[in-house]
Structure 1
Amino acid sequence: MKNSFVSPARDRRVPRIRSIAALTALTLSGGLLAAVNLSAPAAAKPGDVVVSENFDSGTLPAGWRAIDGEWKVENGRLRGTASSGTKKITFGRHLTDFRFEATVRFESVAEPTRWTSLGLDVPADGSTPWWIATMRSGTTAANGLEFAQLTTGNAWNVTNTAAAGYPAGTGRDVKVAVEVHGNQARWFFDGRQLLRTTSLTRSTDGGQALIVNGSTVSFDDVRVVELAPNGYLRPDGAPVTVIAHRGASSAAPENTLVAQEVARRAGADWIENDVQPSRDGVPFVLHDGTVDRTTDGAGAIRSLTAAQLKALDAGSWFAPHYTGVRLPTLAEQLADLRTRGGNLLLEIKGAHSRDEVAKIVEVIRAEQMTGRVFIQSFEVDALKHTYALAPELPLGLLRGSLDADPVAIAKELHLTAYNPTGAALIAKPEVVDGLHKAGVAVMAWTIDSAAQWRQLEQIGVDGIITNRPAELAGWNAAFAQGSPAEPTVSIASPLDGAQLDRAQQPVLGVVAANADTVTVTLDGKPAQSGQKLDLTRLAAGRHTVRAEATGPTGTVSTTATFTITVDDAGLGYLILTSGADATAIKQMTDHLVKGKYDHLARYAERNAGQRIPARVAGVIAADARTLAQR
């Protein structure tokens, strides 16, 4: 997850208000500049200053091309005027990884919706298509900042928007910057990252531009600096990268496309998922070595064919409304990310042969996703195979504890990131600075506590892998605005008003944002988000889930009720899973089939604690009496 043009050796252990450097390329996308020079320039290198203009010469710099509108230099600033429409001036050269910054001042505007932009990948002649990072004078509007493309049909494709905490207004200088790594970009407003994108499409020759619309804008200190390709180091002013563990696994069935979609909508920068092969060699997205826990099937994934895996229900275990969700293949997951947006932190789960890793690489390349996939693994051999087969893919080493020399192993394995547990990093925070000085990003797993997010952010961690991506994205948003946001909390599962039978096992899903602590209760007793509810242990009728979230600004709470229904099928399931001995199960089943509910109730009560576990016997008897009264 990565870096700005300043030296990687800078001190990253600074207070959160300054934001420690690191992860640019993770969730951004961008191609920024348009080639303007008449002859091909020498290739830029990281740290090279490609453009640096303060306009003290009093004239337009050489190679700057005023396409339309009125552009002139006066009083040491470049002034651009567009009395109507959009006007632009182009310059610079094509770069893949760079930072584009300027001091910008709206001198006058026709109305607060008018704007100025830094051009990111604009042809020298100003022809379409081109990408821009836009700022309105009314920056507090929901679209005060934007990433957008003007298409060849002269239509706007606005991919990302955000609001600043205060307006740019007129007559005041605003320092703006965009950091671009390939198709990813970060938008900084007065030193604080407020927006990022992964949607830029890059040309082969587009350079930079300055653009004005319905306004007069002056510019000073325009700089374009080549960056190192590791866009996973977090720049100054940027929040930590949000990495959704197995998708939005606290709110949807893990490692599925629906969990991926929930995480994407929640604001996750990356999706973290696991890959393993089927018996016939098809890479599937699954965490466990078996399908038992997260599907309605059984058996090791490597013993089941792709056809058998695709037939499994991978959603109903989490909640009834996810019934029918399927296990995705790696190809399906990548296609979804490519078409709907997002990046993948892909864990090669367990030992893989070189041929098995080669198949994973083949799928990534076939889906044209090499620029948006990051490989990680606990398995050193899997990383070595990946590097040998696809050196273009960034690599991360997962660790349960810290190595004696993380920098040395990072160099040995050609790592882009070193990814240990959050607890290990908090215990030894100086490791982060050492890795950053070596140009290696740090991603911590798996952290769901806001208090630990704060600790990790303050020691300079670049990305955080979490089961609560919506909450971490909200926590980041509060940081971006410079003040704490109100906590929020909702109950995703079971849904309020849900009717459930005994055979269902919904997962308790609670989503909170801007919260330091989240407390969950079921019928007044402590419970946990992610906990599977055993409905055979609960009485028939209504039950209440309550969730309470506490943040810096206060406490909020919400409730949801669900009802356990009683029917023959549910009672049959209760009997068969009761743990009673074979004689008792046969006797109770006979009573149920014959509709002798009173006999069944009395039998369960007489044999409670003997042939039938006492706890279950009481539930069986109560359900049987309910049916007898119908």
Structure 2
Amino acid sequence: MTVSPARATRGHLAARFGSRTRVAAALAALAVPGAALVVASPPPAVAEPTDVVIAEDFSAGTLPAGWRVVDGTWKVENGRLLGTSASSSANNKVTFGGHLTDFRFEATVRFESAQSAARWAALGLDVPADGSTPWWIATMRSGSTASNGLEFAQRTTANAWNVTNTGSAPYAANTGRDVRVAVEVHGNQARWFFDGTERLRTSSLQRSTGGGLGLFVNGAAVSFDDVKVTELPPNGYLRPAGSPFTVIAHRGASSAAPENTLVAQEIARRAGADWIENDVQPSRDGVPFILHDGTVDRTTNGTGNLRDLTSAQLKALDAGSWFAPQYAGARIPTLAEQLADLRTRGGNLLLEIKGRHTKDEVAKIVQVIRDERMTDRVFVQSFEVDALRHSRELAPELPLGLLRSTLDADPVALAKELGLTAYNPDGNALLARPSVIADLHRAGVAVMAWTMDSAGQWQRLEQAGADAIITNRPAELAGWNAALLQRPQPGATTVTITSPAPAAHLDRAQSPVLAVAATEADTVTLTLDGKPVTVGEKLNLATLGAGPHTLVATATGPTGTASTTGTFTVTASQAGLGYLVLTSGVDRKAVAWMTKKLGDGKYADLAKYADREAGKLIPAEAARVIAADARTLAGK
């Protein structure tokens, strides 16, 4: 069944979800792990469970009404939608649904066949109904364990690829295996889920005003089932189940570069930060500048109060030498310069309005954000309640966060009063009273803890359910997130081929032992080039042809079946050929003749001799392999 697409404007959502509902009941009814909750002005609200706008299991046996085949072959077969692409250059697609700003798109995907492990299927996130460019997709390759096994990518108007983010899955999709995939989108941000766990995120989507959804296949036959699209409220700052922390770089990468500068911002961006946190204050002539302290003394070569200095005086200061000589000449950026850098090079801004600001001063900040076309990528926070009230009045589209050094008696009530999207306390204060996180989540309010720089703190906050960490060490937190995602989910069946090593190149003299690591598995099977082999046996490379070989390991356990593919290559070498001659039961006379030819590099003569003596002085199977390797070496 297909439900008519909903309109996903912010005003539409606010009109529909004006009253608060019970979060637990809503999530249970939606069956969407960690579905995001709306936080708007006025009070926070949550979406009703009727916000599933498309639910299609293809049980009708025909292409659903409103679904449009743009190119390729698409048909409903055996209760699934089957898309076929005969060429790796054909991005075949079917489109459907209306434009959504905040949504979760899920499907069960199975590769029925693939021309290679690089071929892919995709969920279309912003696609014109006629399939014309540009469009955005979330891609999964058949070989999803590759470094680019998962992608966020755009097909541009020039018909070229703009791949913004790549990642890998914990096991290969391969063929014949159902994988439940999902993408959660909030404006320009998206999270890629593979079997319930986030594996990739982006903040680089460039959204249209009318693009809908789609399914894509490339160089493969792929079937889709249980397609579900859920419209979500705008608060994408709550951490969904299966997702790690949002990484917020405090004053940029302030442990590695001079804080609140564009170089610190660039380092944080490269480190994998999702957001940059910086402070804004006005110069004497009213220009918003990025600086934490009330004075320029600590972080520049100047002196004096920031508010007493003109923008020209501030731009003349060196804001980098105090940190390290290589940063000499770094300047204090204006808010406009920082936003322009984020807009053109990528990233989002958690902007702290530092200290007391008049309404006119807040209005200037808002104007700069709007002039730089960054209202959908800026989150405003402050310790100053009045600054948040001004921001809410002047720019209700900007999400708000309240900074706190200690916890309020009733954070939920204060969040409702101020129309907060997030409550942002000192992390240590939060750890002293972690139950407040669940209280805020029930009200649809995210929690961003500052300034947490140790793995021990991160672990405790992750267990408590915090949504984001503001840290001086964004690279370390991004790495910690990645390590967290590598842990098998509780009860999950997993399997990995550990020997031979992935993509290993082996010569005849090596004898690797076939090894597999599995979790929650009752049985493990292994095949080599489609034939069963035994885990733990020594691999006899003397009998394999030179070239690539494929291992497939399959583990079956209480929660299902997991499979993975590994490849290795047998290479012809002088040492390997010598090993064959000496260990293959060759007559001593033949050994003497061939080792001399081998030492002289007379590979062509050796190959002819092996052919002539096959089944005589040289066992027939050994002669075949020796001759083949000798010819390979002769041709090099």
| TM-score, normalised with respect to structure 2 | 0.70
Q: 2:215 aligns with which of 210, 214, 224?
A: 210
Secondary structure in 1 aligned to 2:86? strand
1:158-206 deviation digits (Å, cap 9, x = unpaired): 1111111211111111110001111111111111111111111111211
Structure 1, unaligned stretches of length 5 or more?
13-18, 27-43, 485-630
Q: Give yes or no for the alignment of 1:89 onto 2:98.
A: no
User: In the alignment, what sits opposite 1:116?
Assistant: 121
Distance 2:34 2:80 in 1: 30
User: In the alignment, what sits opposite 2:175?
Assistant: 170
Letter in 2 for 1:93: G
Distance 2:22 2:265 in 1: 33
User: In the alignment, what sits opposite 2:69?
Assistant: 66
Q: Give yes or no for the alignment of 1:296 onto 2:297.
A: no
Secondary structure in 2 aligned to 1:167? coil
1:575-601 deviation digits (Å, cap 9, x = unpaired): xxxxxxxxxxxxxxxxxxxxxxxxxxx
| Change over 3 Å in CA distance of 1:365–1:312 after alignment to 2 | same
Secondary structure in 2 aligned to 1:235? coil
Q: Give yes or no for the alignment of 1:383 onto 2:388.
A: yes
Deviation of 1:24 (Å): 9.9
Distance 1:205 1:358 in 2: 31
Secondary structure in 2 aligned to 1:424? helix
Distance 1:246 1:25 in 2: 28
User: In the alignment, what sits opposite 1:193?
Assistant: 198
Q: Give yes or no for the alignment of 1:9 onto 2:23.
A: yes
Distance 1:22 1:301 in 2: 43
Distance 1:273 1:175 in 2: 38
Q: Give yes or no for the alignment of 1:160 onto 2:143.
A: no
Distance 1:416 1:324 in 2: 37
Secondary structure in 2 aligned to 1:273? strand
Deviation of 1:214 (Å): 0.2
Letter in 2 for 1:261: E
| Change over 3 Å in CA distance of 1:210–1:361 after alignment to 2 | same
User: In the alignment, what sits opposite 2:146?
Assistant: 141
Distance 2:50 2:271 in 1: 34
Distance 2:121 2:461 in 1: 36
Deviation of 1:68 (Å): 1.4
Q: Give yes or no for the alignment of 1:51 onto 2:54.
A: yes
Q: For the Cα contact (< 8 Å) 2:245–2:467, is it kept in 1?
A: yes
Letter in 1 for 2:24: R
Deviation of 1:464 (Å): 0.4
Q: For the Cα contact (< 8 Å) 1:242–1:270, is it kept in 2?
A: yes
Q: For the Cα contact (< 8 Å) 1:277–1:283, is it kept in 2?
A: yes
Letter in 1 for 2:83: G
Letter in 1 for 2:471: T
| Change over 3 Å in CA distance of 1:350–1:136 after alignment to 2 | same
User: In the alignment, what sits opposite 1:223?
Assistant: 228
Distance 1:351 1:60 in 2: 59
Q: For the Cα contact (< 8 Å) 1:103–1:174, is it kept in 2?
A: yes
| Change over 3 Å in CA distance of 1:46–1:389 after alignment to 2 | farther
Letter in 2 for 1:136: R
Deviation of 1:408 (Å): 0.6
Letter in 1 for 2:439: G
Letter in 1 for 2:440: L
Distance 2:338 2:148 in 1: 30
Letter in 1 for 2:81: L
Q: 2:477 aligns with which of 467, 472, 475?
A: 472
Secondary structure in 2 aligned to 1:67? strand
| Change over 3 Å in CA distance of 1:200–1:353 after alignment to 2 | same
User: In the alignment, what sits opposite 2:349?
Assistant: 344
| Change over 3 Å in CA distance of 1:483–1:11 after alignment to 2 | farther
Letter in 1 for 2:357: H
Deviation of 1:63 (Å): 1.0
Q: 2:362 aligns with which of 336, 357, 371?
A: 357
Distance 1:392 1:47 in 2: 25
Q: 1:79 aligns with which of 68, 78, 82?
A: 82
Distance 2:361 2:209 in 1: 34
Letter in 2 for 1:250: S
Matches within 5 A, 1:399-414: 399-414=404-419
Letter in 1 for 2:378: V
Q: For the Cα contact (< 8 Å) 2:181–2:196, is it kept in 1?
A: yes
| Change over 3 Å in CA distance of 1:25–1:404 after alignment to 2 | closer
Distance 1:343 1:25 in 2: 20
Q: For the Cα contact (< 8 Å) 1:160–1:195, is it kept in 2?
A: yes
Deviation of 1:9 (Å): 2.3
Q: For the Cα contact (< 8 Å) 2:299–2:319, is it kept in 1?
A: yes
Distance 1:88 1:25 in 2: 32
Distance 1:261 1:20 in 2: 33
Deviation of 1:483 (Å): 6.1
Deviation of 1:20 (Å): 8.5
| TM-score, normalised with respect to structure 1 | 0.70
Distance 2:38 2:140 in 1: 21
| Change over 3 Å in CA distance of 1:413–1:174 after alignment to 2 | same
User: In the alignment, what sits opposite 1:429?
Assistant: 434
Deviation of 1:479 (Å): 1.5
- Regions of 4+ moved over 3 Å: 19-26, 44-47
Deviation of 1:430 (Å): 1.2
Q: For the Cα contact (< 8 Å) 2:37–2:234, is it kept in 1?
A: no
Secondary structure in 2 aligned to 1:194? strand
1:246-269 deviation digits (Å, cap 9, x = unpaired): 000000000000000000000000
Q: 1:454 aligns with which of 451, 459, 470?
A: 459
User: In the alignment, what sits opposite 1:372?
Assistant: 377
| Change over 3 Å in CA distance of 1:133–1:8 after alignment to 2 | farther
Secondary structure in 1 aligned to 2:336? helix
Distance 2:475 2:23 in 1: 32
Q: Give yes or no for the alignment of 1:236 onto 2:233.
A: no
Relative CO higher for 1 or 2, CA cutoff 8 Å, sep ≥ 6?
1
Structure 2, unaligned stretches of length 5 or more?
1-16, 27-31, 40-46, 490-636
* Structure of larger gyration radius: 2
Distance 1:171 1:305 in 2: 66
User: In the alignment, what sits opposite 1:559?
Assistant: none
Q: Percent identity?
A: 75
| Change over 3 Å in CA distance of 1:246–1:483 after alignment to 2 | farther
Q: For the Cα contact (< 8 Å) 2:301–2:318, is it kept in 1?
A: yes
Letter in 2 for 1:50: V
Q: For the Cα contact (< 8 Å) 2:38–2:233, is it kept in 1?
A: no
Q: How many residues align?
A: 457
Deviation of 1:220 (Å): 0.7
1:61-110 deviation digits (Å, cap 9, x = unpaired): 11111111111111111111101122111111111100000010111000
Q: Give yes or no for the alignment of 1:263 onto 2:268.
A: yes
Deviation of 1:482 (Å): 2.2
Q: For the Cα contact (< 8 Å) 2:36–2:233, is it kept in 1?
A: no
Distance 1:122 1:311 in 2: 47
Secondary structure in 1 aligned to 2:341? helix
Secondary structure in 2 aligned to 1:100? strand
Segment drifting more, 52-61 vs 464-473: 52-61
